[in-house]
Amino acid sequence: MVFLDRTYSVLLVSAAEKFNESLLPLLPGSMYYPVTAVKSVSAAKRRLLEQNYDLVLVNDPLPDDPGVRLAMDACTDSPAGVLLFVRRELYDEICDQVSEWGVAVLPKPTNTQAVTWALQILRATRERMRRMEEKQVTLEDKIREMRLINQAKWQLIARKQMTEAEAHRYIEKLSMDTRRSKREVAAEILKTPGSGAE
């Protein structure tokens, strides 16, 4: 199996005990942990505010709301993979309604194999989202670093009358000479506004 070193937190939103009894055996603790079960949309919304889940499984309908909006909101507001179970006669209509939001849909009644496949697709989707989140953090970090270095350059230009090219070379040389990153050098320059590049 591809995801042996990872477990996936699950929020199960279902008021139907029989459905829960048939689904929970398909969520072994070795792969899905913790599994939190709630019986209403309002309880699910509270949980989603308190914690991020890897997977959200919604059994429509629920006592306080159909659950379709919850599934779409979970896709919009979190990186979770979302699976919505709907009555077979509503499947086409709801599928059209939620597919653009990224919600996977299974008609009820369903079988073990279909649920197992859907869960595998959700895990794969969650891993893809996780990699995208990591790339975004890296990109944001790089942008912050570039801003910091540019601020240090402008301080050198203002205080030491350097050209932009000279300020850039100064930061690079100081970084190499002291074996520190350009970010560290830039931060030091910005900490000493009076002395700048002394």
DSSP 39: S
- The domain defined by 137-191 carries CATH number 1.10.10.10: yes
DSSP 111: -
On whether the CB atoms of residues 60 and 37 are closer than 8 A, the answer is no
On whether the CB atoms of residues 129 and 79 are closer than 8 A, the answer is yes
Calpha distance 72→45 (Å, rounded): 12
Q: Where are the CATH 3.40.50.2300 domain residues in the chain?
A: 8-110
Reading the block at residue 18, the tokens are 């029989």
Predicted confidence (pLDDT) per residue in 67-113, tens digit: 999 999 998 888 899 999 999 999 999 999 999 999 999 999 999 99
Calpha distance 57→35 (Å, rounded): 10
Q: Where are the CATH 1.10.10.10 domain residues in the chain?
A: 137-191
Give the CATH fold of the 8-110 domain.
Rossmann fold (3.40.50)
- Using a cut of 0.85, tell me whether the model's pTM lies above it: no
Calpha distance 61→20 (Å, rounded): 14
